[in-house]
Amino acid sequence: MRTFLRGPGATKSSGASVLSYLLFESGYCSELIELGRHDAIAQGAELKRFLRLT
């Protein structure tokens, strides 16, 4: 990810708009949320143990 962001200069103040777009674009955020949901379901038992729910 760092390499991707360094390419267009997103780590510099002049390229911050690229980073901002990626972080707040609704489709991108929806995909991240869905990936997290699938990961949580797949690791449900471990999460329950970690949160002391079992």
pTM for the whole structure: 0.53
Contact 23, 16 (CB under 8 A): no
Question: What is the reported pLDDT for 7?
Answer: 59
SS3 state of residue 53:
coil
Question: What is the reported pLDDT for 12?
Answer: 55
pLDDT exceeds 70 at position 54 = yes
* pLDDT digit string, tens, across residues 1-35: 565 555 555 555 556 677 777 777 888 889 989 99
Show the tokens assigned to 9: 């200069």
**CA angle, corner 38, sides to 37 and 44, nearest 5?**
85
Show the tokens assigned to 54: 């079992």
Please give, one letter per residue, the 3-state secondary structure of 2-34: HHHHHCCCCCCHHHHHHHHHHHHCHHHHHHHHH
In the chain, domain spans: 2-50
